[in-house]
Homo-oligomer: A and B are copies of this chain.
Amino acid sequence: MKCEVVAVGTELLLGQIVDTNSSWIGEQLALVGIDSHFQTKVGDNLDRMVTALRQALERSDAVIVCGGLGPTQDDITRNAIAEVMGVALVRDPEIVEKIHAMFGGRGREMPDNNLLQADVPVGATVNPAMPGTAPGLMCPLTGADEGKIIYAVPGVPWEMQQMVTAGILPDLQERAGITSVIRSRTLRTWGQSESGLAEQLDDEIQRLDDAGTATIAFLASGWEGLKVRITAKAPTEAEVVAILDEEEQRVREIIGDIVFGLDDDTMESVVMELLRERGQTLALAESLTGGLIASRLTAHAGFSDVFRGAVVPYHRDLKQSLLGAPDVPAVSEEMVKAMAEGVCATLGADVGIAVSGVAGPDPHEGQDPGALWIGIHLNGTSEAVNLTLPFDRERIRQFTCIMALNMLRTRLLAA
């Protein structure tokens, strides 16, 4: 069973929008065991859409068309599919009713052209999920293409994702005769390179290859760390979870405490949970990162009992006047220790993180870009580490964020 993706929209070809939908769909197909060998982008042009769909059907058993289902004259995916199927479009009274209900529920009047969205190729059915006003279509082919199918989904990511998850993937699995459950779990790691992790896990990956129970994949994700994804297949949900549990344990035993979380965990949510468990509060003194750590922490709701606040002493004299730091070099061990302790005092926090360094592109006070110190004040004592990051300004700042938070994480776990 092979399935390809066709993304529709002139704005995609013009580079005004990056096509992240196809990537997302490609990942989902891989996760449920459906092969996908081509992805195509095509503009809002009937002839070219028909060409793209016919070529895709020649190579694959199923096609997911993404976009062009809206209510405007540009939205002609319905027409292109009807032409490929060799059938007419008919207005579906059930969808008309749904669209009316949706507009009524939002207290808005409905423009007439929204009814174009109720036009369906003869023989097609509607995707069981319909989170917006655009219905998704399931369009089985007949004749020479008997057994093949075109799925149409809107380009709006959250609508598309619900339809793929709830309607398309189960249908594809049934058509492919896949009766097993496929699930994956991601171990979030920080502190080891991809090649280093691959080497550590080499024997285990080999063992899994032979056993065929699960697979391991790596995904480098910048300052989100390196993701280790375990994917398993089994006849039932309970069995697949048991395999993932066992494999997670094995991997953790091999790679150790560089695993900071699972799936949707982030380094900052993990650190704040650790602090909450210990009843401790946090304050930041961010010179080098200039508020980046604070902005990440506060992106998460519900940690106002843990996070007291931050000071960005960008100008040198504020390190002294606000945080009580001594008159020492701005990028030094003494400075970040004093800043970490000072921010605890000034903001009334139990734990302090301080960073100071040279973001570049120019040297500062005789130190090169990438030179930096991270200080932690925890349980009454301060310590500091010195790093040199061979990156550009943006990545120096980003990597400092996650390294500072990870430093606190390891200290909290060790304390």
Contact = CB atoms under 8 A, between A and B. Distances in A.
Interface of A: 12-20, 22-28, 30, 36-43, 45, 48, 51-52, 55, 59, 219, 284, 286, 289-295, 297-299, 301, 304, 307-315, 317-318, 321-322, 346-348, 359-362, 393-394, 397
A42 to B, nearest CB: 6
Contact of A39 (B41, B360, B362): B41
B27 A15 contact: yes
A315 B311 contact: no
Contacts of A317: 348
Contacts of A295: 289-292, 294-295, 397
Q: How many copies does the complex hold?
A: 2
Contacts of A309: 311-315, 318, 322
A394 B296 CA distance: 11
A301 B361 contact: yes
Contacts of A314: 294, 298, 304, 307-310
B14 A27 contact: yes
24 contacts: A14-B26, A15-B22, A15-B28, A19-B23, A37-B45, A38-B42, A286-B294, A291-B293, A291-B294, A291-B310, A294-B295, A294-B312, A295-B397, A299-B393, A299-B394, A299-B397, A304-B315, A307-B314, A308-B314, A309-B312, A309-B313, A311-B311, A315-B348, A318-B348
Contact of A290 (B36, B40, B298, B321): B298
A27 B13 CA distance: 7
Contacts of A41: 22, 38-40
B22 A38 contact: no
B36 A38 contact: no
Contacts of A291: 286, 291-295, 298, 310, 312
Given A309-B318, A361-B301, A13 B40 contact: no
Contact of A18 (B20, B290, B394): B20
